[in-house]
Structure 1
Amino acid sequence: MAAEQSFALPGYSLRTGSTLDRATVVKFMECTYRELDPQQPTGHIAATVDRYLSRDTPLWWVNEDSTAAPVGAIWLGQATDQRSGVLHPYVLMLYVAPEHRRRGLATALLAVAHRWAQQQGHRQISLQVFSENPAAQALYQSLGYLPEAILLKKTFTANGGL
């Protein structure tokens, strides 16, 4: 599972999460979705967390030194590379509270995930980012993430028509 790692960002500390953090994971994921689109339904998030949160999915929390509540998190799952079939870590959630952004927390959390993945012998890590989140896209690209696929979706009407 996730070992403690150094987190050299002044004023913040890192701790390893667990399945006991389910409610906070759900809350952070709901915040992410609502920030992108306040009308977006979030009822499915709890079921998603229940499906994937386990002792085998590393989770790290960032706390501001002056508060007990976390202000950021990164949670990793597992994905299969569609081309090679290789299992690798996948960022299920990366979230930093708005009042703590632009301080390097997301970059530091990704560095923790990268180190963990490499220590586990993985040669890649992947993630998905919403197309309407250019700030996140810019961050990931600045850290060397490259687009590999385009997710296409077709929505059907309620009566099943096209």
Structure 2
Amino acid sequence: MIRRGSTLERSLLLKFMHRTYQDLFPNEDFSHLEQTVKQYFSSDTPLWWVEEEGEQGAGSREQGAGSRGQGVGSRINNSIPNAQFPIPNSQFPIACLWVGNAIDQVHGNRHAHIFILYVVPEHRRRGIGTALMRYVEDWAIQRGDRQIGLQVFQSNKPALNLYNQLGYQTQSLWMVKFLSAEK
């Protein structure tokens, strides 16, 4: 089931963000993510959780922004290990989606921007990510958005494959150059 999260779930969102980045960069420190959540997480930036049907959550159950997002829980089970997260399995979501707002720099229109889409590894390749993406697309269409933006690491091949399969296209490249303070 997809459940709308609340701003009271800040710490759970932060745990999911840490796990997301630790999956990609296991030797890095992500203590700075707390500042990201403090700065951007609000009632204006919706958060959705995927939980097994029948679980009790802190928010209300969504009946779907459209028909494409329903029934996710029927294809998943609850086998996430407790090792990193002290929340009982029966209460721990298996996926999350956090969305904010952005402004298209070409046309000036507000649009949805995906901050995070994360499915715990034990539940990947079961259609959950695809269902969440379709869910957010329906949500964005209903609120009048004409596009959805996201940022994905070039090294995250599974995510790139998912987004390409769903019709997402590269519009711009975010380039970085690491600088040394030493001369």
Scaled to the shorter chain, the TM-score interval is 0.7 to 0.9
Write the letter of the residue equivalent to 1:102.
R
- Aligned to 1:130, which of 149, 153, 164? 153
Superposed displacement of residue 140, structure 1: 0.3
1:132-151 → structure 2 map (5 Å cutoff) = 132-151=155-174
The C-alpha deviation readout for 1:96-148, integer Å capped at 9, x for no partner, is 00001011111111111111100001111110000110110000010010000
Superposition CA RMSD, Å: 1.1
Superposed displacement of residue 68, structure 1: 2.2
- Aligned to 2:15, which of 11, 18, 27? 27
State the distance in 2 between where 1:156 and 1:142 align: 35
Superposed displacement of residue 40, structure 1: 2.2
Q: What TM-score do the two structures reach when normalised by structure 2?
A: 0.78
2:166 aligned with 1:154, yes or no?
no
Unaligned stretches of 5+ residues in structure 1: 1-12
Count residues with an aligned counterpart.
148
State the distance in 2 between where 1:137 and 1:113 align: 17
Write the letter of the residue equivalent to 2:106.
R
Residue aligning to 1:50 = 38
2:121 aligned with 1:98, yes or no?
yes
2:39 aligned with 1:39, yes or no?
no
More strand by share: 1
Provide the identity percentage: 45
Residue aligning to 1:16 = 4
Superposed displacement of residue 80, structure 1: 1.2
SS in 1 for 2:30: coil
2:70 aligned with 1:82, yes or no?
no
Superposed displacement of residue 69, structure 1: 1.3
Superposed displacement of residue 156, structure 1: 1.2
Q: What TM-score do the two structures reach when normalised by structure 1?
A: 0.88
2:47 aligned with 1:59, yes or no?
yes
